[in-house]
A = this chain, B = another copy of it.
Amino acid sequence: MTDPFILDFHVYYDDTDAGGVVYYANYLKFAERARTAWLRSLGLRSSQLRADHRVLIVVKAATIDYIRPAVLDDLLTLQTRATKMGGSSMHLAQDVYRGPDLVCTMAIVLVCVDAETFRPARWPDAVRGVIAP
């Protein structure tokens, strides 16, 4: 298993809500940013996958477990790794930590689809070659 991709980020006001904590939907926002940064670090970009291979990556399902709240100014670490790779699907584990403490865990299912028909398509070799669960 390869090392997870690490994204460190601070919690800003727009991430929080009046409960004083990170708004629960925003963990999916963090997760999408981490996936984009991860793909970018592997030399992959949505725009280039679309132009070169006529495919899009879409989120099929997401499961989130909220363990403890994060608050304003927290420095969080998001660990992203592929846990399973199918012909046109990919399962990711994306876990958020504050120091040693687990804040939340996310299991994300991505699907590679044809950019025109939106039907499942096989991952391009450009993707398959760089992602090893």
Interface residues of A, Cβ cutoff 8 Å to B: 10, 12-14, 16-21, 23-26, 28-29, 32-33, 36-37, 45-47, 56, 58-66, 71-73
Contact = CB atoms under 8 A, between A and B. Distances in A.
20 contacts: A10-B36, A10-B37, A12-B29, A12-B33, A14-B17, A14-B23, A14-B29, A14-B33, A16-B18, A18-B20, A18-B21, A18-B71, A20-B20, A46-B72, A47-B72, A60-B66, A61-B63, A61-B64, A61-B66, A62-B64
B65 A24 contact: no
Nearest to A27: B25
A46 B12 CA distance: 11
